[in-house]
Amino acid sequence: MNKTNTAFEATEVIGSDSSVAVHQQKSWKDYLVLAKQGIVTSNLITTFAGIYLAAVYTSTGIGAHFAQMLFALVGAALVMAGGCTLNNYIDRDIDHIMERTKDRPTVTGRFSANHVLLVGLTQAALGLGFLALTTATAVVIGLIGLFIYVVLYTMWTKRTTTLNTIVGSFSGAVPPLIGWAAIDGGLHTYAWLLFFIMFFWQPPHFLALAMKRVEEYRAAGIPMLPVVAGFEMTKRQMVVYVAALLPVSLMLYPFGIVYTIIAAVLGLGWLIIGIAGFIMKDDIKWARYMFVYSLNYLTILFVLMVIVHI
């Protein structure tokens, strides 16, 4: 590791033999890996959309809520980072099996398990503290999302049932709800529509990833739908969720004709690609298309929501 990126050095004890000590270098980048920076960043886009739209529909404007916006963004980021770090702590016994997780600091030995646990709990606590500077509703939603992700998803359903993706979707759908609640604790109908857009978006997104990594999940003993039920069932489930997402996204038609047209085109495009999966012979290639499209869909849709209200 490049020493210019080194935050500090420490000796970590790894493996079953406590007498074996390895001189490890810890980098701030390792903490970003633990926090799953990509997930946090993408979810902050949806959190900001919730904040901005709440400010618009309470007729106050974002400028009147600058402090709440900062507290909400920092709080949401820390709560999500804490949840992801705790996920690393819990999954450290299986992460070495999967290619995409084998370089995590919990696997390589750069961080001890106790250190990761402390970091995760600290991040989550600080995040809830920042949310407490906004509204009580935002704190409650953040706490519920954290509990679902860490306990109900990571500790329980991820290793026991194919419904793990659905359970995880509940926690993954709370960021825009947190953002809205930070400004308007009453939670307008639009806030719940943002929640359901995120909820229906997640199964096809994560099932596409599960198809791409099916052998890794199989080796780790994780009962993802492609592992348990096969690709055909998984593809049907993905198309059902994309089909359900389209009308939910269009229920925000009061956002204007530009939003409605683009949301319809995005949704129909994803549905067409989904249906094409029953024709394409290369399932993994199709899963890659679905995964990439899902990322672009979410980013474009939520950025669009903000733009049409400027």
Of 146, 170, 187, the domain-final residue:
187
Question: Does residue 159 surpass a pLDDT of 70?
Answer: yes
Q: Quote the percentage of the chain above a pLDDT of 70.
A: 92
Identify whether 162 is part of a domain. yes
Lowest-pLDDT range of 6-20, 53-67, 200-214, 238-252: 6-20
Q: Which residues pair with 8 in a beta bridge?
A: 26
Q: Quote the percentage of the chain above a pLDDT of 90.
A: 76
Number of Cβ atoms within 10 Å of the Cβ of 29: 15
Record the tokens describing residue 307, joined without a space.
Answer: 């733009």
Q: What are the pLDDT digits (tens) for 104-136?
A: 887 877 888 899 999 999 999 999 999 999 999
Q: What is the distance between the alpha carbons of residues 54 and 73, in angstroms, rounded to a whole number?
A: 14
Give the pLDDT band (50/70/90) at residue 19: very low
Q: State whether 53 and 90 are in the same domain.
A: yes
Specify the number of domains making up the chain: 2
Question: Does residue 14 surpass a pLDDT of 80?
Answer: no
Of 169, 187, 205, the domain-final residue:
187
Give the pLDDT band (50/70/90) at residue 100: confident
Helices (H), 35-163: 37-57, 66-90, 105-108, 113-131, 136-147
Q: State whether 47 and 181 are in the same domain.
A: yes
Number of Cβ atoms within 10 Å of the Cβ of 146: 20
What mean pLDDT do residues 203-219 have? 95
Contact 163, 225 (CB under 8 A): no
Contact 148, 140 (CB under 8 A): no
What mean pLDDT do residues 41-66 have? 92
Question: Does residue 298 surpass a pLDDT of 60?
Answer: yes
pLDDT for res 24: 53
Q: State whether 214 and 306 are in the same domain.
A: yes
Give the pLDDT band (50/70/90) at residue 89: very high
Q: State whether 204 and 282 are in the same domain.
A: yes
Lowest-pLDDT range of 83-97, 173-187, 223-237, 288-302: 83-97
Provide the domain limits for residue 124: 32-187
Q: State whether 152 and 38 are in the same domain.
A: yes
Record the tokens describing residue 122, joined without a space.
Answer: 């600290």
Q: Looking at residue 81, which CATH number applies to its domain?
A: 1.10.357.140
Q: What is the distance between the alpha carbons of residues 93 and 90, in angstroms, rounded to a whole number?
A: 8
Question: Does residue 16 surpass a pLDDT of 80?
Answer: no
Q: State whether 98 and 139 are in the same domain.
A: yes
